Structure formats: C-alpha cells, structure tokens
C-alpha cells in the first residue's frame, strides 16, 4: 500500500485517476483521495479539504451536505 494517492497505483485502481468534484470546495478536476464518514455519509475529499476538516474547519459545510 505504498503511494496510494499518486502514480501508477492511482491510475490503475481509480477511473479518471480519482478526479472529480470535491463536495466541500466544489473544485472540479481535483483528485479526491481522502474518504471520511460523517453521520453515516461517506465523503471523498480533496487533499486541501481533508487537511482543513482535520483542523476543525468546514463543520457547517459538512453538516449541510
Ligand atoms: Zn476540496
């Protein structure tokens, strides 16, 4: 399980190299690499939002999803 978020592993195992629209920042074409579960909902976030959520931000945004 090395480098699960980049390179060959990512291209082989995720269609579109894991790209899509982040549910929080709404950026499209960004790599969605970080899964998290909130209230039994599964969210897949981009790197920046994952870090921000861990730092305690976006609580209201997530609650509204
Ligand atoms: Zn994001």
What does the pLDDT look like over 3-42, one tens digit per residue?
778 888 888 887 787 889 999 999 999 999 999 888 788 8
28 within domain boundaries: yes
Burial status of residue 32 (CB atoms within 10 A of its CB: 0-12, 13-18, 19 or more): buried
Structural domain boundaries enclosing 28:
19-64
pLDDT classification of 1: cutoffs 50, 70, 90: low
pLDDT score, position 46 = 95
Q: How far apart are CA 1 and CA 21, in angstroms?
A: 25
7 within domain boundaries: no
Q: How many domains does the structure of the chain reveal? A: 1
pLDDT score, position 24 = 94
Q: What angle do CA 35, 55, 3 make, to 5 degrees?
A: 40
Give residue 22 CA to ligand 1 midpoint distance, Å. 5
2 within domain boundaries: no
Dihedrals phi, psi of 53, to nearest 5 degrees: -65, -40
12 within domain boundaries: no
39 within domain boundaries: yes
Q: In the 8-state DSSP scheme, what is residue 14? A: S
35 within domain boundaries: yes
**What residues pack around ion ligand 1 (CB closer than 5 A)?**
22, 24-25, 46, 49
Give residue 36 CA to ligand 1 midpoint distance, Å. 13
Give residue 33 CA to ligand 1 midpoint distance, Å. 10
């Amino acid at each position: 399980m090395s480098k699960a978020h980049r390179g060959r592993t990512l291209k082989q195992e995720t269609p579109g190299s894991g790209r899509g629209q982040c549910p929080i920042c709404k950026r499209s074409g960004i790599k969605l690499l970080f899964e998290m579960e909130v209230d039994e909902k599964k969210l897949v976030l981009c790197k920046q939002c994952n870090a921000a959520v861990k730092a305690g931000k976006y609580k209201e945004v997530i609650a509204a999803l």
